[in-house]
């Protein structure tokens, strides 16, 4: 039972344009959401997070939006750069301090 879903396995974007990665969840009790970035043969690295009491968090080129009514979050990368090419995972925390991960979206930024 996948509580966190990333329905797009892959995404291709031109360099300089916006990348939008989406994530849906089913558990309304999740209180924190995180995005991780993963390069091949490496472990995931933390990118940005958002609390369920907020609807937006921004860090440089990365912005995460949370729509609680739709149980949906998205990661915006503007402008996209070739070095952003990686697999992006969203993760959500339940009240038991356990994180559930999505299946990942592979982003390719085309120079």
Partner 1 sequence: NAGVTQTPKFRILKIGQSMTLQCAQDMNHNYMYWYRQDPGMGLKLIYYSVGAGITDKGEVPNGYNVSRSTTEDFPLRLELAAPSQTSVYFCASSFEDRAVYGYTFGSGTRLTVV
| Footprint of partner 1 (CB under 8 A) | 2, 4, 6, 9, 32, 34, 36, 41-47, 49, 51, 89, 91, 93, 97-104
Least Å distance between CB 7 and partner 1?
A: 12
Nearer to partner 1, 49 or 74 (CB): 49
Nearer to partner 1, 9 or 16 (CB): 9
- Cα(68)–Cα(111) distance, rounded to whole angstroms? 35
- Cα(111)–Cα(104) distance, rounded to whole angstroms? 22
Output the CA torsion 2→58→81→90 (10° steps): -10
Least Å distance between CB 80 and partner 1?
A: 22
């Amino acid at each position: 039972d996948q509580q966190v879903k990333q329905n797009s396995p892959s995404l291709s974007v031109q360099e300089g344009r916006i990348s939008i990665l989406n994530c849906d969840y089913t558990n309304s009790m999740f209180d924190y959401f995180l995005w991780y970035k993963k390069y091949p043969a490496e472990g995931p690295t933390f990118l940005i997070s958002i609390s369920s009491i907020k609807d937006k968090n921004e860090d440089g080129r990365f912005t995460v939006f949370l729509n609680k009514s739709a149980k949906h979050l998205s990661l915006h990368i503007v402008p996209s750069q070739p070095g952003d090419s990686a697999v992006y995972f969203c993760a959500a925390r339940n009240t038991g301090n356990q994180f559930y991960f999505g299946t990942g979206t592979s982003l390719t930024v085309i120079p």
